[in-house]
Amino acid sequence: MSRGIHLALHPYGVGGPGQHGLWKDPRVAKNASIDIGYYIRQAQAAEHALFDALFIVDSQFINATYPAHYLNRLEPLTLLSAVATHTRHIGLVGTASSTYNSPFNLARRFASLDLISGGRAGWNVVTSFDTGTSRNFGLDEHLDYATRYGRALEFVQVARGLWDSYEDDAFPADVERGVFLDPRRLHALDHVGEHFRVAGPLNVSRSPQGQPVIFQAGVSAEGRDLAARVAEGVYAPGGTLEQAREYYADVKRRAAAHGRDPEHLKVFLHGGPVVAATDARARRREREIFEEDNDFDRNLALLGRSFGAYDFGVHDLDAPFPDVAHLAEKGGRTGAAQIIRRAREQELTLRQVVESVAAFRESPFVGSPTTVADTIEEWFAAGTLDGINLAFRTDDDLELFVDGVVPLLRERGLFRTAYEADTLRGHLGLPVPANRHTRVRERAGG
């Protein structure tokens, strides 16, 4: 089933960038984003459905106009560690910034989660999108784009080096010989690079999956290249089927160009499926959800987020879109640059830009269970995805998908009927990376 579709669950908590009004739903606990019980139940539901992973997003910056999703929430590794001991199979993927962490500490925390979960940890590497984050870490400004990506690459390389500190046979714990540790199986890293100097060794040994799985969301050329070089799962930007196919082929090609097996880079599309008894009802519900979330002030704040938490509220809404080109240039904000280009070409006011950015768009995975299963199958066959990162507004929506769509995917041989492994690597069909020191020794010996 490693050739089937991989499914991950992305629990929302309360509200989010696209779920502004969700907290008003009586089925959603107002404190869900800080309630560990909520996350444990979500993980157990996903595990019951045999999903590959639970995926936790993050940001280290908020302000009062921010999406409720990020406002008040548990730190991902603390969260996932608590979830780990209440689940047995499902992968646990947490988001953490390579810009605002140190490799030794973060490598250690993911290694700990990997041991606590028996080999189910995954790290979604982000370079931190929100500019304001820098001010929580003593910097007036984000590191520039190229530096952030260079740092991310080296960070992952250092983490992987630290994760190999202990070979699997490092602790003979041989009472007769009086040997607890075999010091020849413990290795310092002595990394000296452009961004980091880290001696090691790490004081955590390897898990049953060897090392945590690396995820990344690469959109720009730098992002795609980072994913192609080090990621084992990548969150694709989505769009139309044609755009998704282009992206899929591009990152697989880039992975191969780096000498990797493209099969070892799994592409996940984001999907917020809306399932109902009929297609018409599902489409109606999709529109209702859009209206529930649609709020001009929220949309204005979200537009500002693309420009580095810029406050567009200081401008006249009905004057031409303001000159904010300097914000788009800073930090290589490709989305912001596109918005400026369109505003100029179409001579839009600020209000018109806000409305066009937040305009209703139909999403692909909406319809009756059969329609949604058909669409997933079509997109999978078209070479757009290896997996889908699924987000649902309520437990009812999750249930409609799990009870309606998943059985159809199973019937068609597209999704597992039982867990074939206990590790995240196992679910994704990724090999356990050999310890670099063991490999060198074995080569030398053979």
173 binds its own copies (CB under 8 A): yes
Which residue in the set 19, 42, 59, 389 belongs to the binding site for its own copies (CB under 8 A)? Answer: 59
Scanning 9-144, the segments in alpha helix (DSSP H) are 36-48, 68-71, 76-84, 103-116
Q: Which is nearer to its own copies, 211 or 371 (CB)?
A: 211
**Residue 32 and residue 38: Cα distance in Å, rounded?**
6
How big is the CA angle at 21 (ends 20 and 27), to the nearest 5 degrees? Answer: 125
Which residue in the set 141, 168, 199, 243 belongs to the binding site for its own copies (CB under 8 A)? Answer: 199
Report the sign of the C-alpha dihedral through residues 266, 270, 272, 275, in that order: negative
Residue 127, both tokens:
């370079």
Q: Which is nearer to its own copies, 62 or 424 (CB)?
A: 62
**Count of CB atoms situated within 10 Å of the CB of 281:** 14
| Contact window for its own copies (CB under 8 A) among 26-34, 48-56, 286-294, 354-362 | 26-34
Strand-pair partners of 366: 274
Residues 71-100 that bind its own copies (CB under 8 A): 71-75, 77-79, 81-82, 84-86, 100
Which residue in the set 27, 48, 88, 102 belongs to the binding site for its own copies (CB under 8 A)? Answer: 102
Q: Are 237 and 335 in contact (CB under 8 A)?
A: no
Cβ of residue 373: shortest distance to its own copies, in angstroms? Answer: 35
204 binds its own copies (CB under 8 A): yes
* Residue 283-312 contact track with its own copies, rule CB under 8 A, x = bound: ------------------------------
The continuous run of DSSP H or E covering 444 comes out as helix 436-445
**Count of CB atoms situated within 10 Å of the CB of 266:** 21
**Count of CB atoms situated within 10 Å of the CB of 30:** 13
Q: Which is nearer to its own copies, 76 or 273 (CB)?
A: 76
How big is the CA angle at 51 (ends 47 and 57), to the nearest 5 degrees? Answer: 95
* Residues that constitute the known binding site: 58, 95, 149, 220
* Residues that constitute the known binding site for FMN: 58, 95, 149, 220
Q: Which is nearer to its own copies, 136 or 240 (CB)?
A: 136
Return phi, psi of residue 79, to 5°.
Answer: -60, -50
Interacting residues of 412 by C-beta distance below 8 A, sequence separation 6+: 373, 377
| Residues binding its own copies: number (CB under 8 A) | 66
Q: Contact residues for its own copies (CB under 8 A)?
A: 14-15, 23-24, 30-31, 34, 36, 40, 59-65, 68, 70-75, 77-79, 81-82, 84-86, 100-102, 104-105, 108-109, 111-113, 115-116, 132, 135-138, 166, 171, 173, 175, 178, 180-181, 183, 186, 196-201, 203-205
